[in-house]
Chain A
Amino acid sequence: MINRFGLSFFVGKNSRLATIMMLGILASNQVSAKIILPFDNIIFQQNITGHVSANSESIAGVTITIKEKPTVSVSTDSNGNFSIPAIKGQTLIISAIGYTTKEIIVDGAIANIDLSTSNQALEEVVVVGYGTQKKVNLTGSVASLDLSTVQNRVQPNLASAIQGTTPGVTVISRPGAAASVNIRGRGNLGASSPLYVIDGAISDGTVFSNLDPNNIKSVSFLKDASSSAIYGSRAAYGVILVTTKKGIEGKMSISYSGYMGYRSPTYLPKVVNSTQYAELMNEGMFNRDPSKGMNQAYSIEQLEKFANGSDLDRYPNTNWFDLALDKNVPTTNHSLNFSGGSKKVNYFTALGFNQDQSFTPGSKSKKYNFQTNLSSEVTDWLTIKGNVNYIRNQGDVTNGLPSLMNFLIAPPTMVAKQSNGEWGSIAGGQLATQTFLNANPLRAYSKNNWSNSTTENTIYNLGFDLKPIAGLILSGQGIMNRYEYKSKSYVALQDEVKNFNTGAAIPGTGVYTNQMSMDWRSRQRMQFLATAEYSKTIGDHDFKGMVGTSYENMQYQALGASRKNFPIDGLNDLNAGSIAGPDITNNGGMEDNKLLSYFGRINYTYANKYLFEANMRADASSSFHKDNRWGYFPSFSAGWRLDQEDFLRDVSWIQNIKVRGSWGKLGNINNVGYYDYFQTYAIFPAYSFNDQAVTGTKESKPANKGLTWETVTMSNFGLDASFFQGKLGITADYYIKETNDILLAYNTPIEVGLEKNPSQNIGSVSNKGLELTLTHDNKIGDFKYQIAVNMTTNKNRITNLGGSDNMISNGGDKIRYINKVGEAIGSYYGYVTNGLYTQEEIDAGQYYRFGRVPNAGDIKYVPQREGVQYKEEITGEDRAIVGSDVPTFTYGINLNLEYKDFFLSVFGQGVNGTSVGFESEQVWALFLNSAPREYHLGRWNMANPDPAAVYPRIYGGSSLDNYNQNFSDFQLFDADYFRIKTITFGYALPKTFANRIKLGGAKVFLSGENLFTIRQDKKMKDFDPESSTGRGLGALGVKSIALGLNVNF
């Protein structure tokens, strides 16, 4: 009886352990209780103590089990030591995630075990949708982030930090903009962003970007249909799964990492000096009206004064970027975590702080990360887990802040402060214009304005695991994901600028009305999740099944208010402002969205050789009419581990070869508005009768009751291989991704009169791509190195636009994109040019008219129609696809070198086949009062009548310039680059020494970001190649250098 009872208990326990092992639930969770039952033979028991290490580093959390008594299991502490009650002759199983399991026979009281020889890749476990999977058993395309590439970096933004690390994951990290992540090409014509899931909580890119890399255990990129179909209607553009760290049984371990350093701009606009400015102004006016000579704006005497600096009040030479920008601003980051646990309870608690200053003084951003993960095994069949993840972003501005554009508008011919201490009022000898006076960046800093904002993202995550019978795990999770944004800002009164010549205040240069504004936005996503998982092994057959359901409700609310006319500046409460009608504003906002889902997965493995998986998800969304609400997303995949076959098993240089294939269907709901299927009338403040406001109602976007998901069908073929004891690793994937039913704002003729075009499921896009990662690890004596190269090509083609071909959209004021069947998304659509006209061509009548007749030095637009004669008009038919803003080839190179206690890691990333389009201040000299730059000095002019000049004839920002501003390839600049994203050099304290001073480990490092860039553009040069298309100079690219420290206690 007793035996049977004991046996059955053991079997249950054992298979549960096995299940967990197979599922590969994280090491921290894997450590189970050591249960010493009364009927164990205590007499023969002795304690074996030992130490587990790999590559001469102690490993914590390694599971040691007695093979003959699987219930007896311990794990190593933070110093890698363990103690287990075993008897001589028994076998210890030493297993740890990422290492090959080892068995040793107990023959003494001490056992020291080295796990170094194992091949990590084989045992690696990756997190997949609603579970985990051994990497070798994966049949889908899942990439996991090597976290060492993002820690030790002076890059607080995680999305920017993963740029280039993972093939197939394209991160566009524009200066100033949130990094956008795209997996496997743009599939639709709207947003193609992946789904972010953090510890099971549906989240977003912003939260992901703000996570502290030190708190993350793993990041998985689910790239193909098979791996992401379990997320159904939101998985069309892949899924990014984040798992945060958990505590490990053992004494408390404290770990600190931090850095302090400096950030500076990668590129600054190189503006001309005041003499050049005056000369360009003169030249512009001359080109417009030659009869008045070369000195219409500035006389020769004035030019001399600029050059000799004899009258700096009136003829200065100001470089606003030098004067008013902090080019070196401190950056600091601290991250501290405590983790550990007892047998039943484990914990991980982390605090993080990051502070950055902006290059414009007075503006600071801070980030706080608080996280705590607790897990408690209440009974052997019930585990309760609770996580709280809180991220607070804070922005504080203590003064007025000039826009970066003002640095281009304030001219070099004006001083910031006159010699009498008053603000600059004279530009080039004349009273400066209001535009210039008000653009003075230094004066902007002097304002008593202030603003502060906080963005809080909190994920509350409560869950339990029930294990009622062997192999079955029931899990429940309740998640509340809250976003709250609050801002308060104040515009203070400001005195007028005084005219330096007369001392009189200049009307219009002050701020006459003060104003305070408050803004509050809140979004909460309530999520309930239940899964049941069962696994069973019968001989060579391994089965695993999972079913689940989830319900989500997203609610958004916003409130804004402002008041004007505060009696004095310096008050902090909105209530102090005037309550007169026009002085008060308020506004609101509200949204509600729901999603109900069922999903399931089946895995089957035969003899560890043949792997099969099937997934299914059904989603119903409140965004659709009830007749079209349900969507079904199946996927299937299979893998074959060739290395397990007899004919390869004994080939010593092959460690792993697996081929895999998958097919599946996914959905995309992101481009559907929450209420698009309702036909509605919008309410707006329309008009007034007798000074009484009246409201109006007008038809909103036409409803489409038939709206449905965009569907993505993806096939994936992959190969994972590892040769020569890990010296060469290969992962390759080829995918075909067809997106159908793409929601398009139907090309509606202007005559129809719609303000917003209706959405239709009409488009199709195909993406085909190859992803390749090669790794090479080696060790020569004390010198260890690792090289990893990854590359991605993606070929994107629009295959159908539902009869709405040639959809042209704005990329700015003049910049246009086209969506055209057979072409890629992100294609620039503009005029084709061939250099500049020469005087001879104009004189010979060899020109085309475009609005006006061109002059020598104007851009030569080339007709794309057949048979266009000289002097005829260039028309819209002469436009063509002139470039693309989406790279066709992206690559990353990762190099890690170690010599004794020193290490150097270099990570570079590059893109090919892309260009950036600029307009307005960023590219047109003197247009919109902008200051020209060195780029414009290369212009065509009488002295340099070069038809290949980088910039055409200038007309001083007048309407004659308009001819040259028609969007063409002349405005496109090569944006290909290769950039050393990060370079880190460090020293790690020798283990033994660290231990002697009671440290688990310590290292110091020097790390730099974006320090070196090789770029293709040879035309404009003074912009960051990662800049976004458009007017430019909204933000500056950042490089940084910092000294960092990591310590474990």
Chain B
Amino acid sequence: MLIFNLLLKMKKINYSLSVAAGLLMFNTSCSLIVEPPAEISAEGYWKTENDAFLGLNACYAQMQAMDIWDEMTTDNAHSHKPWEGPYELIQQDGISTEYNQGYGFTDIRIFNNFLEKVETVNVSDELKARMRAEVRFLRAFSYLNLTSKFGKVPLITTVLDYNGPLLQRDDVEKVRSFVLSELAEVATILPKSYNDSFLNEKGRITQGAAHALRARAALYFGNYAEAEKSAEAVIKSGTYNLFTISTLNAAQQKEAAELDQFIDFKEKGIDKDAFVKGLFSYEALWHKENATPSNPEYILTREFMAQDDNVDYGRYIYMRPSQLIQGYSSYEPMQDLINAYWDIDGHTLRSVDQKSREAAFAKITAEVDGLDQKGYIAKVSGMNLKDQEYIKEFRNRDSRLYASIIFPFKGWHETDFGTFYYRWNPKLAGVDGNESWSGYSYRKMVSLTPYQNEASVEDYPTIRYAEVLLTYAEARVKNAGWDSQAQDAFNKLRSRAGMPKAPTALGQPQALDLIRNERRIELAGEGHRYEDIRRYGNDYASKVMTGATYAPNGYLVVNKAWSERLMLMPIPQSAIDLNPTLGQDQNKGY
């Protein structure tokens, strides 16, 4: 018994000890090493050509596409959805520091990081310099946008420590000269075009883009000599042309036939073929197969494709009216912009009294009241629109009006849902969230190539040749007056639009007025109006940004108000909270 017990005891002790020791050893021997499974370790990165390619792609992802949002803070357009941004607040001089109108530096950091890190990559110096030039271009672009909005901004060209000293804003002049000198320098490095091989993809930033952006920047800065010089470099390069079409498709032909309701071609001495092709050339330059870097008018292209991560919602659901599938009408052009489209003579402006417009609109609306959509299409397509009082306002106008704006009763046959006549319901202004409240919707830039019924896959011309021509004309007038060079550039746009040439004898102020209005028309919806009304000066801005804008039924779209503080946007409180020194250097009036 005793022996048995002792044995038992020993057995259980041995057993227990070995189990305990085993467990202890097992645990101690376990490794604590883990590796990040989905990210690349920084050590050993930035060595190969492919590393640089991937880093560069991240920089391209920051490139600006459509810029319509700024437009809605001006007299061109409106958004009735306050939750989408403080657009109407700005139009009404109601912006406060609670809103951020684009004060951000994440893209700048990505650019600076690339510029720093690409140095260690094993590629030729030439390629390295070119890749750096592409990114320096993007950085200069971001700084142009920043200084346009906020004036003084901190100029950052290195990757900052997160706990480094708080930065002050740098002088406007310093930022501006940085933008101009960088763009001048990269223009000497970047190639005119790419051969479309790996790392030389066609859509990359070119020398032309650098000159063109520099021309834009210099114009915004009021540096007309440099603006002319850079714009001229683009023009003289011979690389770019305004986009034109030579034949019309069936839908376009159908609309062309209907245009007789709107244009008295004979009486006005207008070449119908040129006018119609002008209209559709202007419209089609954003569409379908034309929307690629190969388009001769595209100087800088933001590329999109049929893939969730890289599509453009703005040009599809947000821009379309609710009558076109899925439309939100979040961005709507206003009467002020309609008023800016030339008479078909190309130099006079129309004005219709609001009360008469309301009366005329009520009359024509009564004629289609109660019709269903089919009945409406049947009715409108057979209607004698020509003699309708309301339609008179839209008769014999600049071809770009028809390509840019859908106004009530106008037909558009090339939509992705076929024939469409715009039927604006005045009773929904101020009530219905997805109906335009201004009476108008965009047609220009609205994508015809949907992705999953909600987004656009069409590439977007971030900089197009038309802008360069306008920049050149304006700068040239400032520098040398309304001479033949200015007129040549200007008339290229008229010729494409199928519109008459500009008058030849104009004084400098008249020529400037002409160009400014042409610019407003040609570039409508592309975001330039924000900078333009400011660089034309406080008086100009104050004039155009004061007073009420109404819809055709008299609904108050917005009661515009201006004060000088709006020349710049406030440094947002969210930035001041993180960098209190900015609070001592707030823009005036905030």
Give me the interface of A with B, judged by CB distance under 8 Å.
Answer: 1-2, 5, 9, 281, 285, 288-289, 291-292, 296-297, 379, 381-382, 428-435, 464, 466-469, 472, 474, 476, 499, 501-504, 507-508, 512-513, 528, 530, 532, 549-551, 553, 564, 581-582, 585, 588-596, 620-622, 626, 629, 674-675, 678-700, 702-703, 746-755, 757-758, 760, 806, 808, 850-852, 873-877, 920, 927-929, 956-963, 966
Contacts and interface: CB of A to CB of B under 8 A. Distances in A.
Greatest chain A CB density within 10 A among B19, B107, B371 is at B19
B349 interface: no
B98 A966 contact: yes
Contact of B2 (A1, A431, A683): A1
A689 B202 contact: yes
A588 B589 CA distance: 50
Contacts of B15: 466, 468
Interface string B368-380: 0011111100000
A581 B306 contact: yes
A688 B417 contact: no
B520 to A, nearest CB: 24
Contacts of B108: 753
Nearest to B306: A582
Contacts of B554: 292
B223 interface: no
Nearest to B328: A434
A549 B23 contact: yes
A678 B38 CA distance: 12
B109 A746 contact: no
Contacts of A687: 57, 60-61, 63, 303, 310
A959 B417 CA distance: 33
Contacts of B163: 746, 748, 760
Nearest to B201: A689
A499 B372 contact: yes
B372 A752 contact: no
B39 to A, nearest CB: 4
A4 B322 CA distance: 98
Contacts of A760: 163
B43 to A, nearest CB: 7
Contacts of B36: 675, 678, 680
Given A530-B27, A690-B196, A852-B89, A681 B433 contact: no
Interface residues of B, number: 126
What are the 3 tightest A-B residue pairs by CB atom distance, in nearest-first order? A502-B372, A753-B109, A696-B58
B13 A691 contact: no
A551 B30 contact: yes
Greatest chain A CB density within 10 A among B43, B98, B304 is at B98
A343 B11 CA distance: 24
A689 B16 contact: no
B467 interface: no
Interface stretch (B129-137, B492-500, B533-541, B569-577): B569-577
A962 B88 CA distance: 10
A859 B108 CA distance: 39
A929 B9 CA distance: 80
Interface of B: 1-2, 5, 9, 12-13, 15-17, 19-20, 23-24, 26-28, 30-43, 45, 51, 53-55, 57-61, 63, 80, 82-83, 86-89, 92-98, 103-110, 112-113, 154, 156, 160-164, 166-167, 196, 201-204, 303-310, 322-327, 370-375, 417, 425, 427-428, 430-435, 451-453, 554-556, 559, 573-579, 583, 589-590
Nearest to A674: B34
Contacts of A754: 106, 109, 162
Given A468-B15, A675-B39, A751-B160, A582 B80 contact: no
Contact of B435 (A292, A433, A532, A550): A433
Contacts of A431: 425, 428
B20 A699 contact: no
A749 B575 contact: yes
Contacts of A851: 89, 94-96, 98
A428 B164 CA distance: 59
A758 B9 CA distance: 58
A697 B40 contact: yes
A675 B307 CA distance: 30
Contacts of B556: 288-289, 291-292
B105 A5 contact: no
What is the predominant secondary structure among interface residues of chain A facing chain B?
Answer: mixed
Contact of B162 (A581, A700, A702, A929): A702
Nearest to B30: A551
Contacts of B109: 699, 752-754
Contacts of A873: 96, 589-590
Given A381-B12, A434-B322, A502-B372, A749 B579 contact: yes
Contacts of A675: 34, 36, 39
Nearest to A382: B12
Given A551-B30, A750-B105, A754-B109, A433 B432 contact: yes
Contact of A698 (B55, B80, B167, B204): B55
Contact of A507 (B94, B104, B107, B323): B323
B58 A698 contact: yes
Contacts of B92: 852, 959-960
Contact of B13 (A433, A468, A703): A468
A698 to B, nearest CB: 4
A765 B431 CA distance: 50
Nearest to A688: B305
Contacts of A594: 30-32, 34
A810 to B, nearest CB: 9
A958 B88 contact: yes
Nearest to B371: A502
Contact of A430 (B154, B427, B433, B451): B427
Nearest to B56: A696
Contacts of B306: 581-582, 691
A550 to B, nearest CB: 7
A9 B8 CA distance: 12
A501 B427 CA distance: 16
Given A551-B30, A750-B578, A958-B82, A504 B105 contact: no
B12 A466 contact: yes
A467 B15 CA distance: 10
A281 B427 CA distance: 13
Nearest to B5: A5
A657 to B, nearest CB: 40
Contacts of A678: 36, 39, 41-42
A502 B373 contact: yes
Contacts of A682: 38-39
B322 to A, nearest CB: 5
Contacts of B307: 581-582, 685, 688, 693
Given A433-B428, A435-B433, A750-B579, A466 B16 contact: yes
A806 B20 CA distance: 52
A302 to B, nearest CB: 10
Greatest chain A CB density within 10 A among B57, B324, B555, B573 is at B57
Given A621-B32, A680-B42, A757-B162, 7 more contacts: A297-B431, A591-B37, A750-B575, A753-B112, A852-B93, A873-B589, A874-B96
A959 B558 CA distance: 10
Given A292-B554, A693-B310, A873-B96, A959 B30 contact: no
A877 B60 CA distance: 38
A20 B99 CA distance: 67
Contacts of A507: 323-325, 417
Contact of B24 (A289, A549, A749): A549
Contact of B26 (A382, A551, A746): A551
Contacts of A681: 39-42, 45
Contacts of B370: 501
19 contacts: A381-B16, A466-B16, A466-B19, A468-B15, A549-B28, A622-B34, A686-B60, A688-B303, A690-B201, A690-B202, A694-B53, A694-B57, A748-B578, A752-B105, A753-B105, A753-B110, A760-B163, A851-B98, A920-B83
